């Protein structure tokens, strides 16, 4: 198993495609880490959750108002 992984690492190091794939993997990992932190309770997750909750409440209120106007109430 170690020999196989070692061969893959050598192949990736010698290939330009491998370098690009590693760079993209690092970018994706960085973005994922930021997203996990942002949506966790210790990060800004509660603020994001509150913002989405408030936006949802506003949309629901606007929908209720539009329905009452269209029903003639």
Angle CA 69–72–73, to nearest 5: 85
CA distance 71 to 26: 54
Which residue did the predictor score with more confidence, 27 or 2?
27
pLDDT for the residue numbered 55: 95
Which residue did the predictor score with more confidence, 71 or 17?
71
pLDDT above 90 covers what percent of the chain?
23
pLDDT for the residue numbered 57: 93
Confidence tier at 41 by pLDDT (50, 70, 90): low
């Amino acid at each position: 198993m170690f020999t196989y992984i070692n061969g893959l690492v050598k192949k990736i190091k010698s290939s330009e495609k491998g370098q690009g794939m590693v760079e993209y993997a690092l970018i994706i990992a960085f973005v994922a880490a930021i997203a996990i932190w942002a949506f966790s309770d210790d990060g800004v997750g509660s603020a994001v959750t509150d913002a989405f909750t408030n936006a949802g409440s506003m949309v629901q209120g606007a929908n209720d108002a539009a329905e009452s106007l269209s029903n003639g109430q």
